[in-house]
Amino acid sequence: MISLWHVTKAFDPTEPPAVDDVSFDVRRGETLVLLGSSGCGKTTLLKLMNGLLRPTSGRVEVDGEEVGSQDPISLRRSIGYVFQGIGLFPHMTVEENVGIVPRLLGRPPDERRLRAHELLRVVGLDPAAHAERYPEELSGGQQQRVGVARALGGDPECLLMDEPFGALDALTRDTLQQELIELREELQKTIVFVTHDIFEALTLADRIAVLHEGRLEQIGTGEELLRSPATDFVHRLFARPAEQLAAFGDVL
Amino acid sequence: MTAIADWIAFALERLPELWLRTGEHLLLTGVSTGAAIVAGIPLGICAARVRWLRSPLTGAVGILQTIPSLAMLAILLALLGRIGAVPAIIALTLYALLPIVRNTLAGLEGVSPEVVEAARGIGMTPGQRLRLVELPLALPVIVAGVRTAAVVSVGIATLSAFIGAGGLGDFINRGLALSNTDLILLGAIPAAVLALIVDGSIAALQWGASPRRSSATPLAAAVERVARPLAVASPLVLLLAGGVAYLASSGSLAGSPWSAAVGGGSTVRIGSKNFTEQLVLGELMAQLVEARTDLRVERRFNLGGTMICHGALVSGGIDLYAEYTGTALTAILERDGTSDADQAYETVAREYRERFAAQWLEPFGFDNTYAITVRRSDAEARNLRTVSDLVSVAASLRAGFTAEFSERPDGYAGLQEAYGLAFGEVRDLEPALMYQAIARGEVDVVAAFATDGRIAAFDLQPLEDDRGFFPPYQAAAVIRTAALQAHPELADVLGLLAGVVDDTTMQRLNYEVDEEGRTPADIARDFLEGRGLLEPDR
């Protein structure tokens, strides 16, 4: 679905590159989590995938075709993007936000409206209660549901999600994670999900790609990473939460 | 209280003209603000998009803002070669650009980067991003800029009267020329009220167009459904009201610059400069033409000075006005002055015919030369009789000159040279304020107009021009040759005024306006009736 070949991205030649010689594939229908601490290059990787950024060297392919040779506008409309800061348009109603990609694709207003209401139901929001509201009238969790609904607007095969639940409280985050799992079963989308939260990664991922200082440390299922960490960094990354969990279990 | 009641009565008497001027004012402001929006928002967008354009663009519109309004009007008059609404609208548009360009830029830069990134990320083209996201979000800031621009325009538009563009400034201008506070207020108060109304209507537009919040109660929502469209339409309604007020009252009142386009061939446009004598002469000519021909007269009085009147005459903005031989000789033809009155008249008549396609008619009969004037008490105490007597004491005297006198070659500069005269201090004074200033002792010497009624009224003493420095300033009507050919009867009709207004008569007419508070129109009618000039020949 998406392939990266020796991708390097440097914003400033005097600094170490944000992404350094990274190669991996995202398989059709899987949920791949990019895991790493802030500044490890995971958001940069996401932006390379839909052409918001161009690699300094290497190739990024979507559906077997290099991103740079595709029309960036239609590429982005065919890939859903859920932003870290949510980025809803504050001057548009929920319905208008969710219907924006169909609007860009030139769909008639009636169809946009139906589509928006359908997507709101998919993300668990009642259209009757929410469609006419403005983003600022919604809670953070509701806003991010709208963000997901908007990303689904163009019925993309693939969703890029950049720490979508990062700013939410633990309970809301847990709910949205569960909903995302259900959604994934229902919609059969390929998802690339960025997070710095190990438990979120283990909860959602089919496979996890661990990134550190712009380099790919290891890619594999959660079990593989836990049982046979390829590098010292991966080992330490999982060891500390495991100890905490064990201690927590002891108390219980 | 009675003063206020008197003023209200004064204003009510002039209600039709007040509507006309308010309508003109709204049209000036509305058209120019509209043009500034159309030009300014794209410029603001360019400045936001193209980084290297930002400083030059904002710098350029900033510099426009620093040009003094009168200078701007004069420059545009020179560039366009015409008076009236067009140069005024262009000037107002240029002034309105700064707040609109700057706020468009600031508004676009203030859009949250997250939202911009989201717009790019979901696949908006740059154009869609601008139209669907950035401009709507920048709109409150842009509208704030438009409000600033519109309010500033209402203020600056009062100056448009200087180049014959009408508006409420016409009252102010006339009030200044006639030292009539009631008239000044008749322009200033409605202009201030208008500024508030214009500001309010754009604020209403902004509210009406802002996103509706669903939290309102059903009743409030119902009220909003009615109120919002009204609020959105209010600036347009205001502009239309201005147009209606203008059209409704312009039928009964001549002399609006906006009617120039429909004026047609049977109209003669008479101009005047902005001081009493010019207004009286303008009325004399206008009433005579109205009484004795079928021509419609458009009064374009109170134009801001010699160059503006001359520019208007040459470009056809006006057909005729009263000019002085000495002024034409030195300020317009840039010749050396002559003390021979006949020679001066012949020279200007010939030069105007050849260079400007305009004719000098026969002089009215008075010579309004400059008169270096002091207080009578000073003249007696210091034994001053001639300008030469001033030379030895000049260093201790404060002079007050009009801006025109300070600049003109036959003004202060030439006077200094001819007499070796240098005053201790020279101040710029409005013609209307000059006499009060010397009477109150704020200055000691003024360059008065010899026919000004206030010389006698304020107990002033003109000094003899013993070296014959000031050229003769005989006044006569100057008319475009084309207008004279189209309406040959004008020569005979205006010829009736030849030689009938001597120095003392002109002084008296000026005095009646300046000190007795009568209008130039009244004075002119009385004079013409008294001479039997309004009755047709038998």
What CATH number did the domain enclosing B395 receive? 3.40.190.120
The sign of the torsion formed by the CA atoms of B176, B179, B184, B186 equals negative
pLDDT value at residue B249: 72
- Tally of domains in chain B: 3
Q: Which domain holds residue B292?
A: 263-367+475-530
- For the ranges B68-77, B209-218, B415-424, the maximum mean pLDDT occurs at B415-424
Taking the C-alpha atoms of residue B216 and residue B437, their distance in angstroms, rounded to an integer, is 62
Question: Same domain for B51 and B187?
Answer: yes
Closest-CA residue of chain B to A88: B115
The answer to whether residue B2 sits within a structural domain is no
Give B322's strand partners: B477
Closest-CA residue of chain B to A98: B122
Put simply, the chain B residues between 412 and 441 with a CB less than 8 A from any chain A CB are none
Mean pLDDT, to the nearest integer, of B115-136?
Answer: 92
Residue B257 contacts residue B312 (beta carbons within 8 Å): no
Q: Inspect the interface and report whether the beta carbons of A76 and B136 lie closer than 8 Å.
A: no
pLDDT value at residue B245: 82
pLDDT value at residue B254: 46
Closest-CA residue of chain B to A159: B122
Nearest to B104 by CA among B139, B58, B64: B139
Residue A197 contacts residue A228 (beta carbons within 8 Å): no
pLDDT value at residue B256: 52
Q: Encode pLDDT of B238-283 as tens digits.
A: 888 888 888 877 655 544 555 544 444 588 999 999 888 999 999 9
Q: Inspect the interface and report whether the beta carbons of A52 and B125 lie closer than 8 Å.
A: no
Q: Which phi and psi angles does A132 have, rounded to 5°?
A: -90, 0
Is any Cβ of chain B less than 8 angstroms from the Cβ of A167? no
Domain ranges of chain A: 1-73+160-252, 79-156
Half-sphere exposure of A249 (CA within 13 A, CB side): 6
Q: Specify the 3-state DSSP secondary structure of B167.
A: coil
Closest-CA residue of chain B to A99: B122
The answer to whether residue B470 sits within a structural domain is no
Give A218's strand partners: A210
Give yes or no for residue B35 having a pLDDT over 90: yes
Q: Encode pLDDT of B325-351 as tens digits.
A: 988 988 888 887 677 889 999 999 999
Give A61's strand partners: A3, A66
Which of A25-34, B34-43, B426-435, B519-528 has the weakest average pLDDT?
B426-435
Residue A76 contacts residue B122 (beta carbons within 8 Å): yes
Taking the C-alpha atoms of residue A26 and residue A207, their distance in angstroms, rounded to an integer, is 9
Which of A142-151, A190-199, B282-291, B407-416 has the weakest average pLDDT?
B407-416
Q: Encode pLDDT of B3-20 as tens digits.
A: 888 889 888 888 888 988
Q: Which amino acid, A73?
A: I
Mean pLDDT, to the nearest integer, of B416-428?
Answer: 89
The sign of the torsion formed by the CA atoms of B307, B311, B312, B314 equals positive
Is any Cβ of chain B less than 8 angstroms from the Cβ of A29? no
CB nearest to B118's CB, from A75, A87, A154: A87
pLDDT value at residue B538: 43
Taking the C-alpha atoms of residue B372 and residue B389, their distance in angstroms, rounded to an integer, is 11
pLDDT value at residue B170: 87
Burial class (CB in 10 A: 0-12, 13-18, 19+), B68: exposed
Better pLDDT: A84 or A117: A117
Nearest to B245 by CA among B22, B465, B526, B449: B22
Which of chain A's residues have a Cβ under 8 Å away from the Cβ of B213? 134, 137
The answer to whether residue B453 sits within a structural domain is yes
Give yes or no for residue A50 having a pLDDT over 50: yes
Residue B503 contacts residue B366 (beta carbons within 8 Å): yes
Taking the C-alpha atoms of residue B203 and residue B144, their distance in angstroms, rounded to an integer, is 8
Give yes or no for residue A18 having a pLDDT over 70: yes
Please name the helix (run of DSSP H) or strand (run of DSSP E) that holds residue B268, with its range, or none. Answer: strand B267-273
The answer to whether residue B237 sits within a structural domain is yes
pLDDT value at residue B428: 86
Give B371's strand partners: B448
Which of chain B's residues have a Cβ under 8 Å away from the Cβ of A84? 114
pLDDT value at residue A240: 82
Domain with B183 in it: what CATH number?
1.10.3720.10
Angle at A155 between CA A150 and CA A156, to 5 degrees: 95
Question: Same domain for B83 and B209?
Answer: yes
pLDDT value at residue B1: 65
Q: Encode pLDDT of B287-302 as tens digits.
A: 999 999 989 998 888 8
Mean pLDDT, to the nearest integer, of B481-502?
Answer: 92
The answer to whether residue B221 sits within a structural domain is yes
Is any Cβ of chain B less than 8 angstroms from the Cβ of A132? yes
ipTM: 0.88
Which of chain B's residues have a Cβ under 8 Å away from the Cβ of A81? 118, 121-122
Residue at which a domain ends, from B187, B218, B250: B250
**pTM metric for this prediction:** 0.75
Token pair 């380099």 in the structure block, residue: A215
Token pair 């008169």 in the structure block, residue: B371
| Structure token pair of residue B345 | 């008249």
Give B269's strand partners: B298
Q: Specify the 3-state DSSP secondary structure of B299.
A: strand
Is any Cβ of chain A less than 8 angstroms from the Cβ of B118? yes
| Structure token pair of residue A109 | 């207003």
| Structure token pair of residue A74 | 């239609």
Give yes or no for residue B409 having a pLDDT over 80: no
Residue at which a domain ends, from B250, B283, B317: B250
Q: Inspect the interface and report whether the beta carbons of A81 and B133 lie closer than 8 Å.
A: no
Question: Same domain for B238 and B355?
Answer: no
Question: Same domain for B227 and B295?
Answer: no
Is any Cβ of chain A less than 8 angstroms from the Cβ of B137? yes
Residue at which a domain ends, from B204, B228, B250: B250
Question: Same domain for B416 and B276?
Answer: no
Residue A151 contacts residue A82 (beta carbons within 8 Å): yes
pLDDT value at residue B260: 46
The answer to whether residue B188 sits within a structural domain is yes
Provide the terminal-to-terminal Cα distance of chain B, rounded to the nearest Å.
Answer: 52
Better pLDDT: B79 or A48: A48
Question: Same domain for B103 and B137?
Answer: yes
Q: What percent of chain B is predicted at pLDDT more than 90?
A: 45
Question: Same domain for B83 and B31?
Answer: yes
Q: Which amino acid, B328?
A: A
Give yes or no for residue A189 having a pLDDT over 50: yes
Q: Inspect the interface and report whether the beta carbons of B117 and A50 lie closer than 8 Å.
A: no
Give B386's strand partners: B464
Q: Inspect the interface and report whether the beta carbons of A91 and B136 lie closer than 8 Å.
A: yes
pLDDT value at residue B269: 92
Give me the CATH code for the A1-73+160-252 domain, please.
3.40.50.300
The answer to whether residue B213 sits within a structural domain is yes
Question: Same domain for B235 and B111?
Answer: yes
Question: Same domain for B290 and B391?
Answer: no
Residue A216 contacts residue A233 (beta carbons within 8 Å): no
Q: Inspect the interface and report whether the beta carbons of B117 and A104 lie closer than 8 Å.
A: no
Closest-CA residue of chain A to B211: A91
Domain with B526 in it: what CATH number?
3.40.190.10
Is any Cβ of chain B less than 8 angstroms from the Cβ of A67? no
Buried b / exposed e along A198-216 (16+ C-beta atoms within 10 A) = bebbbbbbebbbbbbebbb
